Amino acid sequence: MNLVRSFLGAALLTAGYLPAAAQARHEYLLTTNWKFTKGDVADAANPGFNDAKWQTVSVPHDWAIYGPFSPQNDLQTVKIEQNNEKEAKTKAGRTGGLPFIGTGWYRRQLQVPGFGAGQRAVLVFDGAMSDAHVFVNGREMGAWPYGYNSFAVDITEAVKPTGDNVLAVRLQNLPEQSRWYPGAGLYRNVHLIVTNEVHIPVWGTYLTTPTITPEYAKVKLRTKVATPGNAFQPLRLETDIRDAGGKVLATVSTPLTATDGQEFEQNLVVPQPRLWSPETPVLYAATSRLYAGEVLKDEFTTPFGIRSFSIEAGKGFVLNGEPRKFKGVCNHHDLGPLGAAINVAALRRQLTLLKDLGCDAIRTSHNMPAPELVQLCDEMGFLLMVESFDEWKTPKVKNGYSRLFDAWAEKDLVNMVHRDRNHPSVIMWSIGNEVPDQWAPGGSKLAKRLQDIVHREDPTRPVTAGMDQFDAAVNNGFAAVLDVPGFNYKPHRYPEAQAKLPQGFLLGSETASTVSSRGVYKFPVEKAKDKRYPDNQSSSYDLEASNWSQTPDEEFAAQDELAYTLGEFVWTGFDYLGEPWPYDESWPSHSSYFGILDLAGLPKDRFYLYRARWNPTQPTLHLLPHWTWPGREGQTTPVFAYTNYPSAELFVNGVSQGRQTKGPSSQPQTRYRLMWNEVKYQPGSIKVVAYDDAGKAVAEEEVRTAGQPHHIRLLPDHTTLTADGQDLAYVTARVEDAQGNLCPEATNQLQFKVKGAGRFRAVANGDATSLELFHEPRMHAFRGLLVATVQATDTPGALQLTAASKGLKSATVQLTAQAKPVK
Ligand code: GAL
Tens-digit pLDDT profile for residues 319-353? 999 999 999 999 999 999 999 999 999 999 999 99
Own/partner pairs for 207-214, CB < 8 Å, 24+ apart?
207/286, 207/302, 207/304, 207/422, 208/460, 209/273, 209/304, 209/306, 209/307, 209/308, 212/273, 212/275, 212/306, 212/307, 212/308, 214/272
Check if 387 has its Cβ closer than 6 Å to any atom of ligand 1.
no
User: Distance between CA atoms of 751 and 779, rounded to whole angstroms?
Assistant: 7
Residues in the chain, pLDDT under 50: 1-22
Identified catalytic residue from 176, 379, 391, 510: 510
Q: Give yes or no for residue 434 CB within 6 A of ligand 1.
A: yes
Out of 78, 82, 364, 389, give the residue to mutate to test ligand 1, the one with the largest number of ligand atoms within 8 Å of its CB.
82
pLDDT of residue 117: 87
Computed from CA positions of residues 252, 256, 260, 265, in that sequence, does the dihedral angle turn out positive or negative?
negative
In the set 197, 434, 457, 745, the catalytic residue is: 434
- Which residue, by CA, sits nearest to atom 10 of ligand 1? 579
What single-letter amino acid sits at 801? L
CA of 781 to the centre of ligand 1 (A): 29
Q: Is 510 a catalytic residue?
A: yes
82 lines ligand 1 (CB under 6 A): yes
Distance (Å, whole) CA 7 – CA 446: 38
Q: Are 742 and 763 in contact (CB under 8 A)?
A: no
DSSP code for 437:
G
Mean pLDDT of the chain: 95
Ligand 1: centre distance to CA 640 (Å):
28
What is the distance of C-alpha 167 from the center of its chain?
Answer: 29
Query: For 177, phi and psi rounded to 5 degrees?
Result: -95, -5
Cβ-count burial 632-642 (b if 16+ within 10 Å, e if not): eeeeebbbbbb
121-139 pLDDT per residue, tens: 999 999 999 999 999 999 9
Query: Strand order in 621-624's β-sheet?
Result: 621-624, 639-643, 674-676
Question: 546 CB less than 6 Å from ligand 1?
Answer: yes
| Residue nearest atom 12 in ligand 1 by C-alpha distance | 513
Specify whether the backbone of 807 is left (phi greater than 0), alpha (psi in -120 to 50) or beta: left
Atom number of ligand 1 nearest to Cα 366: 9
Question: Both ends of the chain: CA-CA distance in Å?
Answer: 15
Determine the residue of 330, 571, 577 to mutate for testing ligand 1's pocket, defined as the one with the most ligand atoms within 8 A of the Cβ atom: 571
Q: Among candidates 774, 757, 758, which has minimal Cα distance to 766?
A: 774
Q: What is the pLDDT of residue 23?
A: 66
Beta bridge partners of 701: 688
Which pLDDT belongs to residue 458?
A: 98
- Distance (Å) from CA 548 to ligand 1 centroid: 9
479 CA from centroid of ligand 1 (Å): 19
**Which residues have CB under 8 Å from 702's CB, separation 6+?**
623, 685, 686, 687, 688
For residues 397 and 78, the answer to whether their CB atoms sit within 8 Å is yes
In short, whether 83's Cβ falls inside 6 Å of ligand 1 is: no
Q: Does the C-beta of 488 come closer than 6 Å to ligand 1?
A: yes
Which pLDDT score is estimated for 9?
A: 31
Atom in ligand 1 nearest the alpha carbon of residue 546: 12
Spatial separation of the C-alpha atoms in residues 413 and 463, rounded to whole Å: 12
CA of 444 to the centre of ligand 1 (A): 21
Those residues with Cβ within 8 angstroms of residue 362's Cβ, 6 or more apart along the chain or in another chain: 328, 329, 330, 331, 354, 373, 377, 382, 383, 384, 385, 569, 573
Report the distance separating Cα 612 and Cα 690, nearest Å: 13
Task: Calculate what percentage of the chain has a pLDDT beyond 90.
Answer: 91
Any ligand 1 atom below 6 A from CB of 510: yes
The whole-angstrom separation of Cα 190 and Cα 87 is: 43
State in Å: Cα 434 to ligand 1 middle.
8
Strands of the 55-57 sheet, one edge to the other: 55-57, 34-38, 102-110, 165-173, 132-136, 139-144
Q: 516 CB under 6 A from ligand 1?
A: no
Q: Whose CA is nearest to atom 7 of ligand 1?
A: 82
Is 818 within 8 Å of 798 (Cβ atoms)?
A: no
Domains of the chain: 2-7+201-308 (2.60.40.10), 25-64+100-196 (2.60.120.260), 325-614 (3.20.20.80), 627-704 (2.60.40.10), 711-818 (2.60.40.10)
- Which residue owns the Cα nearest ligand 1 atom 6? 513
Query: Which atom of ligand 1 is least distant from the CA of 83?
Result: 7
Ligand 1 centroid distance, CA of 719 (Å) = 37
Q: Within 13 A of 359's CA, how many CA atoms are on the CB side?
A: 31
Please tell me the number of Cα atoms within 13 Å of 654 on its side-chain side.
Answer: 0
Bridge partner residues of 787 (DSSP) = 732, 764
- The residues, ordered by sequence, that sit 6+ positions from 69 with a Cβ below 8 Å of its Cβ are 96, 97, 98, 588, 590, 771, 773
**Ligand 1 atom closest to Cα of 468?**
7
Q: What proportions of the chain, in percent to the nearest 5, are helix, strand and coil?
A: 15, 35, 45
If one counts every other C-beta atom within 10 angstroms of the C-beta of residue 432, the result is 27
The pTM for the full model equals 0.96
Instruction: Indicate if ligand 1 lies below 6 Å from the C-beta of 682.
Output: no
Task: Report d(CA 605, CA 613) in Å as an integer.
Answer: 14
> Which amino acid, 155?
I
Distance between Cα 241 and ligand 1 center (Å): 42
* Gap from CA of 266 to ligand 1 centroid (Å): 43
How many other C-beta atoms are found inside a 10 Å radius of the C-beta of residue 313? 11
CA 200 – CA 501 distance, rounded (Å): 43
571 lines ligand 1 (CB under 6 A): yes
Phi-psi region of 760 (alpha: psi -120 to 50; beta: other; left: phi over 0): beta
With a 6 A CB cut-off, is 433 part of the ligand 1 pocket?
Answer: yes
Q: Ligand 1: which of 510, 547, 576 to mutate, most ligand atoms within 8 Å of CB?
A: 510
The CA 310 to ligand 1 mean position distance, Å, reads: 28
Tell whether ligand 1 has an atom less than 6 A from the beta carbon of residue 549: yes
Coil, helix or strand for 140? strand
Report the distance separating Cα 763 and Cα 192, nearest Å. 32
434 is catalytic: yes
- Quick: pLDDT tens for 563-584: 999 999 999 999 999 999 999 9
- Give the C-alpha separation, 262 to 568, whole Å: 41
What's residue 20's pLDDT? 37
Between the CA of 392 and the centroid of ligand 1 the distance, in Å, is 16
Atom of ligand 1 nearest to the CA of 365: 9
Residue 419, SS3? helix
pLDDT of residue 19: 36
